[in-house]
Structure 1
Amino acid sequence: MGERVFVLGVGMTKFSKPVADGPSYLDLGQEAVAAAMADSGLDNSAIQQAYAAYIYGETCCGQRVLYRSGFYEIPIFNVNNACASGSTALYQLKRSIEAGLLDCGLAVGFEQMQKGSIDVGWTDRPTPLSRHFGRMKSERGIGKAPAAPQIFGNAGRYYMEKYGITAETFARVAAKNHRNSVGNPNAQFRDEYSVAEILDSPMVWDPLTRLQCSPTSNGAAAAVLASERFVREHGLQQRAVEILASQLVTDPASTFESNDADLAGAGMTRAASHAAYVESGKGPEDLDVIELHDCFSTNELITYDGLGLCDEGGGGKLIDSGATDHGGDVVVNPSGGLISKGHPIGATGLAQCHELTTQLRNEAGPRQVPGASVALQHNLGLGGACVINIFGRPQ
């Protein structure tokens, strides 16, 4: 067992719709870093290494952000791991500190996205998702909608066919998360919608309507991590949140031979969560609050299974009963999740860390989960990567 690792500071910008005259990734990244450093109470000299996560941009964008923030000469690593990039940066930093390679470091994620649905960036070479598309085409065909809602929508169809889940059940997931976003000043959308309004919004890919899909977003988030030794030497125990486990997995070979849910990352979720539970000594029954990757409402419900919150196929009963809402057994996505908070890809995982750290410090205001002491983060990237982090309240 290596060094225990703690979150000392977190910061994030408001997530917003991409606009031509909006702030650049440099502005967003600098704002998030400054907020995380201020929250930690440290100055720049404490940071020995940094990881920068983003998808849209040229090489070394991380250096541009961190130079502007006053960090020079330290090792800076640029991280691109699909939608799990932000939490991958967190994972890498945590592992480096745990191994004793450094005592204090910084992870930042940012994104300046283009308007519209995510599209293929390069058309003259194989895409990372070509095997996923091939499998999807052979099973259900390919339509005119963007690729991501097709993959996650088909996973929802699979659950409807196998377990009798209805489109209304998926809409309840979105309604919960839109409702939660009302209390989050950093959320891109802060409007509450009824289940009927969600079902009546424009269809993207059956059963997913527009209000069940995460939006294209700009934004940034950051976290400062440190070893237990560093925390004690600097007297920072009071607000330090421990990372009890951090696991990253990629697709099992069965992904391309299995069902639509595994094609959407369910197999990765099962493997990563099992490893994280073993590492932390915690189980699903110990969790008080979860931030999971609800890029689409169907994925939140499917993820309930993968995290062991219910028996296979039991996610519909879980959301219908209110067990994952405030006042239930475990509160899922109190921030509003990706559906409402937004999904600037490189920042998403670190924004989840921001929310859970805030929850465990009992500083989340109107969205606070009373008595939260154990939290889980689930961040998924098709292509593929899944990161599970488990956090513990300051002791």
Structure 2
Amino acid sequence: MGPVRRKVYVVGVGMTKFLKPCDSVDYPEMAEEAGQNALADAGISYSLVEQAYVGYVYGDSTCGQRAIYHSLGLTGIPIINVNNNCSTGSTALFMARQLVQGGLADCVLALGFEKMKQGSLKPKFDRTNPVDRHVEVMVNKYGLEPIPLAPQMFGRAGREHMEKYGTKPEHFAKIAWKNHKHSINNPHSQFQQEYSLDEVQKSRKVFDYLTLLQCCPTSDGAAAAVLASEDFVHKHKLEKQAVEILAQEMVTDTPTSFEEESCIKVVGFDMTRIAAQRCYEEIGVRPDDVDVIELHDCFSANELITYEALGLCPIGRAGELIDRGDNTYGGRWVINPSGGLISRGHPLGATGQI
């Protein structure tokens, strides 16, 4: 007999507007806005929160405590700091959900924030590079150029897709065009400007076919969610606003990430495929049962590859999905209606990987 797993509900959410990195607002203020908005949305006081998971990538080891102390109060609850790179925000949510699901708490806060520097992310390693094996796969296949690693790795994954399946640079540009168009309806988006497909394609080149408008920006921002058990929902009469988390999975690299010397695999294709399949099986749905999808579009190439990993189309056919308009309003799915990371922004601790 397996462990008893309780239902988990999101009863309140809050976030700040995502901004170009600046010095005018620091992380405690961003955390305060997101956290208080989430509690207000839930209609509960911070005194009912039993634990908090706080995600951020850049900063000292107790920034989570400082953010909570300043923004919400000193109630003595456990506050756990989470750093899991681009999946930091979703990891904080994952940990908070497990706590409620396992019956160890009835109300938990997941909070994420980030203060970033302008420009491309730069490695700061005084030890073994944690992605050295991933980089090795790319170097063996395509070599290494003296520019930031992230656009190279995802750009090479897209290039591999073009070589294998005949995908065109225009398909990647169409994804960015779509996401920028979606963002005009999101008041929290870092960018709320619509661009033509031609403007996307002719914006400054970052790497190979990837242009500036196909790459997510660095951002400052915060987001929060209040998670609760079914008993808590009933006790505080939150039934009308409670949204159940039906499934959530976290997967790390398996041997297949490295066995084929594939840049598509090394940037996470199999991890996404496995996580999605587990979610589908857990709740008995198929991709066709879904209407709206938010996914990790750090670069337009990753969004295209993720379509196939999620099972939205057969492998190699994402270009056809894009040409049909099945990733936006009027098509089969609305993908990244928020504008995605490309337009909404990507403060690492306040976002996540799907």
Match for 1:195: what amino acid?
L
| Structural mapping, 1:199-210, within 5 Å | 199-210=201-212
1:267 equivalent in structure 2 = 270
| Structural mapping, 1:213-362, within 5 Å | 213-258=215-260, 259-349=262-352
- Distance in 2 between the 1:71 and 1:38 partners? 18
CA contact (8 A) 1:66 1:72 kept: no
2:28 equivalent in structure 1 = 26
CA contact (8 A) 1:108 1:222 kept: yes
Shift of 1:71: 4.2
- Distance in 2 between the 1:153 and 1:71 partners? 46
| Structural mapping, 1:96-245, within 5 Å | 96-122=99-125, 124-245=126-247
Structure 2 residue matching 1:248: 3-state secondary structure: coil
Shift of 1:205: 1.0
Is 1:13 the equivalent of 2:44? Answer: no
- Distance in 1 between the 2:269 and 2:314 partners? 14
Instruction: For residues 141-176 of structure 1, give each alpha carbon's deviation from its aligned partner in whole angstroms, at most 9, with x where no partner exists.
Output: 011221000000001001111111100111000000
Instruction: For residues 316-364 of structure 1, give each alpha carbon's deviation from its aligned partner in whole angstroms, at most 9, with x where no partner exists.
Output: 1111111110121111000000000000000013xxxxxxxxxxxxxxx
- Distance in 1 between the 2:154 and 2:117 partners? 22
> Which runs of 5 or more structure 1 residues have no equivalent in the other structure?
350-378, 380-387, 389-395
1:55 equivalent in structure 2 = 57
- Distance in 1 between the 2:39 and 2:240 partners? 16
> Which runs of 5 or more structure 2 residues have no equivalent in the other structure?
none
Q: CA RMSD in A?
A: 0.9
Structure 1 residue matching 2:248: 3-state secondary structure: strand
Structure 2 residue matching 1:45: 3-state secondary structure: helix
- Distance in 2 between the 1:211 and 1:298 partners? 12
Structure 2 residue matching 1:238: 3-state secondary structure: coil
TM-score normalized with structure 1 length: 0.87
Match for 1:82: what amino acid?
N
Shift of 1:5: 0.4
Match for 1:43: what amino acid?
S
Match for 2:93: what amino acid?
L
Shift of 1:72: 2.8
CA contact (8 A) 2:56 2:348 kept: yes
- Distance in 1 between the 2:119 and 2:248 partners? 33
TM-score normalized with structure 2 length: 0.97
Instruction: For residues 233-270 of structure 1, give each alpha carbon's deviation from its aligned partner in whole angstroms, at most 9, with x where no partner exists.
Output: 11111111110001001011121222111111111101
Instruction: For residues 77-106 of structure 1, give each alpha carbon's deviation from its aligned partner in whole angstroms, at most 9, with x where no partner exists.
Output: 100111001001101111110000000110
- Distance in 2 between the 1:211 and 1:240 partners? 36
- Distance in 2 between the 1:2 and 1:46 partners? 22
Structure 2 residue matching 1:72: 3-state secondary structure: coil
- Distance in 2 between the 1:330 and 1:290 partners? 7
Percentage of identical aligned residues: 53
CA contact (8 A) 2:47 2:75 kept: no
